[in-house]
């Protein structure tokens, strides 16, 4: 399926079967592909791989799952965006606008080599953003596990030092600082809203050693976990 839904995009072609898409790409001038993978994620990923062998055309995947491995595969195929099911119309609109901005320099610039360079730079920036979002999604889903940037970089087939540098540039903090913040904020939320035992909360945010959890929590909040919970009950 090719085309778009906002300014400067129009539905140009439509394909009901994946086998019809590659011939369309070969003979038509297509600037964007919207690919609905809601009913068959694996076939959708296979089609992305085939498209990438022949064309750098931007692809937005619609109706994906929240499964980290599928998002990682989409990233490897340089997909412009991966929208989970159900697709949010506002998110789709933002994705289309982002693609439009990437395509813009090619049509506005008078210098072809400069235009290609600018477009490549924007694609790299967008790819970095997608990588960072994938990392953050992984952290959110696996917060209770032993998370390391090395493990994530291996799963994404990236150099760990490179990924750490990109993350710091994008988030203005190191990956470990981000991970600590997510764990401590989740711990605070659980202390505020549940009756879970402290050791259960520590385990839920990825700490198997209680002394280490107590130390990190005090460093982060300036108080102990027990004192923090008491303060919440008093203020409530």
Sketch the domain layout of the chain as residue ranges: 18-172, 183-235
Cα–Cα dist 45/153, whole Å: 20
Output the tens digit of pLDDT for each of the chain's 236 residues: 444 445 567 777 777 766 778 888 778 878 888 888 887 887 888 888 888 877 888 888 888 776 666 776 777 777 877 888 788 888 888 888 878 877 765 444 444 445 445 545 555 555 566 788 889 888 998 999 999 999 888 877 778 888 898 899 889 999 999 999 999 999 999 999 999 999 999 999 999 999 999 999 999 999 999 999 998 877 65
Cα–Cα distance measured from residue 189 to residue 178, given in angstroms and rounded to the nearest whole number: 16
Residue matched to tokens 């919970």: 229
Here the tokens at position 6 are 């906002």
Partnered with residue 64 across adjacent β-strands are 84
18-172 shares its CATH topology with 183-235: no
Give the CATH number of domain 18-172; options: 3.30.950.10, 3.40.50.2300, 3.90.1150.10, 3.90.170.10.
3.40.50.2300
Contact 62, 95 (CB under 8 A): no
CATH architecture designation of domain 183-235 = Orthogonal Bundle (1.10)
Q: For residue 169, what pLDDT is reported?
A: 87
Tokens 């062998």 sit on residue: 53
pLDDT (0 to 100) of residue 203: 96
Neighbours of 197 (CB within 10 A): 9
What's the pLDDT score for residue 34? 87
Radius of gyration of the chain (CA): 22
CA dihedral sign of residues 229, 140, 126, 153: positive
């Amino acid at each position: 399926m090719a085309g778009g839904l906002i300014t400067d995009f129009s539905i140009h072609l439509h394909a009901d079967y994946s086998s019809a898409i590659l011939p369309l790409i070969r003979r038509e001038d297509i600037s964007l592909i919207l690919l609905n993978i809601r009913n068959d994620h694996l076939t959708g990923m296979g089609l992305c791989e085939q498209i990438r062998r022949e064309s750098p055309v931007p692809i937005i995947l619609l109706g994906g799952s929240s499964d980290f491995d599928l998002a990682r595969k989409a990233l490897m195929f340089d997909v412009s965006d991966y929208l989970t099911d159900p697709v949010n119309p506002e998110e789709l609109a933002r994705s289309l606008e982002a693609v439009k901005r990437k395509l813009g320099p090619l049509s506005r610039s008078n210098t072809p080599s400069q235009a290609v360079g600018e477009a490549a730079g924007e694609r790299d920036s967008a790819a970095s953003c997608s990588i960072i979002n994938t990392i953050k999604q992984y952290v959110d889903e696996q917060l209770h596990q032993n998370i390391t940037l090395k493990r994530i970089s291996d799963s994404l087939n990236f150099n760990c030092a490179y990924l750490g540098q990109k993350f710091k540039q994008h988030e203005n903090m190191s990956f470990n600082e981000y991970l600590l913040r997510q764990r401590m904020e989740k711990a605070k939320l659980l202390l505020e809203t549940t009756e879970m035992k402290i050791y259960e909360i520590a385990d839920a945010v990825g700490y198997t050693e209680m002394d280490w959890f107590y130390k990190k929590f005090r460093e982060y909040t300036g108080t102990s976990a027990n004192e923090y919970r008491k303060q919440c009950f008093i203020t409530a």
